[in-house]
Structures are given as structure tokens and as C-alpha cells.
Amino acid sequence: MSEEVLLDWKESHADVYFKFKQDLEEQLLKPYHQNILDLGDGNAEPLQSVIVNLAAVSSKEGFDIDKLYAKAVESGDASVYCLCCYLLFDNGEGRLADTIADKVEKPDAQEILDAVQEYKRFYKQNRKQEVSKITADELNILTLRRWHYDHPEEYKEFTNTFQKAYDGDMTFIQTNFFFLMEMFSTKGVKGMMKIVASLFPGNKHYQQSLMGSDENPLKGRLSEMLDSSLNNKAIRERLLHKNPYLFSLYYWIIFDNGFLHAADLISQTFLKPESPYWEKLIGRRCVEALIGASIDKARYSKAQWKEVTQKLKKGEARQVIDVALLEVQGRRGRKSTYVLLEEMLSTEHVSILTDEIQKLLQDWKQLEDTDSILAYIFAALVKGNLLCGEYNYRTFHAAVQEKFPDFHINKGYDWAEALCNAVLSDDLNYNINISEDQVKRGRRYATDIKLRLLSLVNPNFV
């Protein structure tokens, strides 16, 4: 390398070098989190160039300036020439080392570094808990309920983690934040950087996410997470690999009113009277997002949220919920019930009844390729008082579909539902598409199946 040639280049390109040095040192003076944000947004070109080029020529002994100079000559890249000049003539290596050392000592830098390490641990641990092979490509609410039924200990661990959050344990909040980061990762590095930056006051993304007039971005993420088609690739991938935390989280949200519990936790952490202003801003946005997504996608009702406000003392949280409820549209229509077949059946006889229903389906499918047998079985269960609660035919149909996928039961249930209602009816007031002969046949089958099931659960039955 010829220092004289390099110095000539610097003098002949003084304006270019001056701008490079000015932009780089201006970037180095910014807080650590702002550097991360600017890199993610593509607004830190000099710093980005320095990082890439130094990584290519660094070793345990330091930076190989000869190698860097060779790259500059070969590529003709002005930014590489500028970096050579900075390192050789302006004590650039020392300045960079001092800046990095100073940044590492800053509180915000340590928090970010700690968070990165925590995320690495989270990522590794979560992948270990997943199954490597995808056994089914279908994800629905009953898939979720089946997982919960088969993994009670994992769900108990999840709820215990949530309860610990009231005592200051950040594991629950941190883990959910990391899953949100994975959702953002489908949008690229920029999306991940923005969610990190939104936690720090003093940048445009913080202002946009917490005080902007645009729709709450967190609500959009929660809504995407709960969308029936589950289009978010990151979340879908984790669920297909049976991620235990995510299955627990979804069950908690859908079946255990998780969003209501989350709002209560936020009210007691972020929205306390003594909480700083920035914490209250985050808390408000989180509660708004929970309310909007829960009513829009998770079938929560306004009445459920109003019950929450009755339990809260007058203050920040109650006020936030009241205002947010004014801005969302309530949901109308029938609310579906999702239970497993085992959860519908008489608790004492679940195994016996499940096995016998499977035999009935197997025998029937060898004779007919219709689902009318489901109407007869459900009518038999109702008449024999073999259910542990009040359920309709649609719930039973979906539960049998989930339990016995190999029988390829049709998703449509209108005709079978009408037939079942006619069989259970005490009069002749039933669907005109059902003939009297079909009803008589159905009642005969339902009676035979009822007697068969009752004799199994009670050998002394006569």
C-alpha cells in the first residue's frame, strides 16, 4: 500500500472525505438504540459501510488496512477509500474503539445487549420444545382445544408464568414481546427495529406508535395473530411445529378470556397512579389493542369488557377501557361453541362412549356413505342423558370430525342437523326436506343406539 497515493486521493477528493467523516462521526454520537434504528431504516449509510468493510478485513490482531486498500483499488469504491484514509490519517481505529467502549457503558446499550441475549435464549429454548416433524397441516380452534386436553401440565406452567407477572417477574411480558418480534420479522429487519425503537422516547417511531393518529399498530398485529386464515407465516410455522407456549397462549386468549386478564395485569403495572408518563402511554396503547382485537377477531363482547371496568377502581385503566369501547363496533350473531368429543360426554364414561361411537361410525361407513349416523348418535346421547351439558348438533358434528378424521365426515351439517332435530322433536313440526319415513327410521336407530350405549355404561341396565 502506498500512503502517498492514498493521501493524494484524500486531497483530490476532499469534499467526499469530509462528508464521509462528518456523517460517520455524527452517527457515532447518537445513542445506541438510534444506531440500531437507523441501520434498520437504511439511514446510516456511512456506518453501514464501515461495519461491512471492517468485518471483511478484521482479525484478532486488528484491521488489515493493506487488504482494505486492495479492495478500494479493485472496486474503486469511494467509501472504502474514505475508510482507509480515516483509519490511517485520522486515528479512526482508536476513535471507533473509544466510541464502542463508551456506548457499551451506556444504560440503554446494556439493556439492548441483555435483550438480544434473552432473545437468543428464548429462540433456542422454544425450538427445543417443538416437534421437528409437521404431522398435520390443518390448524383450527379444535386443534387448539385438543392440544390443551392432551397437555394440561404445559398449560398450567403457562398460567403460573402469567400469575408471576403480578409479582414483577417479566418472563410472561418478555416472551410475548419476542413472539411479536417474530411476527414483525416477516416484514424484514426494518420491522423488528421499529418495534425495538418504539420503546425508547425521542425518535419518530416512538411518537408514531404511541401518539400518532394512525391505527394502533399493535392492534393490527394482534388481529393478524387471531385471523381465521392465520396468514402470518412466523406464527403458523410455530403452531405447525406444536410450540407449547403458543398453543397455551392461543387457548388462554380464546377459551380463558386471556385478553381480559392481560388488561388487568396492565392496569396494575403500567397504569398505576405513580407510573411514569411513558409507561402510561404504552399501557393505554396495549389496552386499546387488546379491546379492538378481542372484539374484532376473538369474539369477545363489550359486556365482558364492561364487567372488567366494574372490578377496577376509578382511574387510568377504567378510563382507557371506557373510551376504547366507544370506538369499537360490537359483534352480533350466534357465538359458536367449541368443545372436544371427550368434553361433551358423561365424565365417568368418556373412554367407553368414545370407543363405542368409533365402532358405530366404522360399521355405518361400511354400509352407507352418509353422515346421518351422526344425527342418530347425537339423538341417542341426548335421550340417554349421556352428555355432561347442553350442546347442539353442530357442536357435536365438529367434535366428531376432529376426533375421527379418518372417517372423512363432511363439513356441511345442515341436513344432518335438521334430521337430528326432527328425531328429537316430540311432534311433526320439522324441516320440510325431511320425510316422515326418514324421521321414523332415525328414531328407531336412535333408540337402538341409546340402549346399546346405556348397556355399556351400566351392565345392570335392563
Instruction: Output the pLDDT for position 134.
Output: 64
Global model pTM greater than 0.85: no
Residue 461 class from Cβ within 10 Å (0-12 exposed, 13-18 middle, 19+ buried)? Answer: exposed
Confidence at 320, pLDDT banded by 50, 70, 90: confident
Whether 324 shows a pLDDT value over 80: the answer reads no
Instruction: Output the pLDDT for position 188.
Output: 38
Residue that has been written with the C-alpha cell 313440526 in this structure: 429
* 8 A C-beta contact, residue 173 and residue 165: yes
Residue count of the chain: 462
Whether 460 shows a pLDDT value over 80: the answer reads no
Confidence at 164, pLDDT banded by 50, 70, 90: very high
223 vs 293, more confident: 293
44 vs 353, more confident: 353
Confidence at 349, pLDDT banded by 50, 70, 90: very high
Confidence at 189, pLDDT banded by 50, 70, 90: very low
Beta bridge partners of 58: 63
265 vs 109, more confident: 265
Phi, psi angle pair for 386, to nearest 5°:
-105, 10
**Average of per-residue pLDDT across 150-167:** 92
Whether 186 shows a pLDDT value over 50: the answer reads no
Whether 118 shows a pLDDT value over 70: the answer reads no
Residue 310 and residue 391: Cα distance in Å, rounded?
Answer: 31
CB atoms within 10 A of CB 66: 11
Least confident of 8-12, 121-125, 245-249, 366-370: 121-125
Domains in the chain: boundaries = 3-105, 119-326, 341-457
374 vs 183, more confident: 374
Residue 24 and residue 18: Cα distance in Å, rounded?
Answer: 10
Residue 316 and residue 206: Cα distance in Å, rounded?
Answer: 21
Whether 146 shows a pLDDT value over 70: the answer reads yes
61 vs 109, more confident: 61
Whether 120 shows a pLDDT value over 70: the answer reads no
Least confident of 241-255, 298-312, 448-462: 298-312
Beta bridge partners of 63: 58
Using a pLDDT cut of 90, give the percent of the chain over it: 24
344 vs 51, more confident: 344
Whether 267 shows a pLDDT value over 60: the answer reads yes
Confidence at 180, pLDDT banded by 50, 70, 90: low
Confidence at 117, pLDDT banded by 50, 70, 90: low
335 vs 241, more confident: 241
304 vs 219, more confident: 304
Whether 80 shows a pLDDT value over 60: the answer reads yes
Residue 433 class from Cβ within 10 Å (0-12 exposed, 13-18 middle, 19+ buried)? Answer: exposed
Instruction: Output the pLDDT for position 330.
Output: 58
CB proximity list for 24: less than 8 A, separation 6 or greater: 46, 47, 50, 86
272-314 pLDDT per residue, tens: 888 887 678 778 878 888 888 788 777 788 888 888 777 765 5
Confidence at 393, pLDDT banded by 50, 70, 90: very high
Whether 214 shows a pLDDT value over 70: the answer reads no
Instruction: Output the pLDDT for position 213.
Output: 46
85-111 pLDDT per residue, tens: 998 899 888 888 787 667 656 555 555
Instruction: Output the pLDDT for position 108.
Output: 54
Q: What letter represents residue 455's amino acid?
A: S
Residue 149 and residue 142: Cα distance in Å, rounded?
Answer: 10
CB atoms within 10 A of CB 124: 9
Whether 33 shows a pLDDT value over 60: the answer reads no
Instruction: Output the pLDDT for position 24.
Output: 86
Closest listed residue to residue 291, CA positions, set 251, 258, 259, 335: 259
Q: Note the Cα 281 to chain centre separation in Å.
A: 22
Least confident of 212-216, 264-268, 323-327, 373-377: 212-216
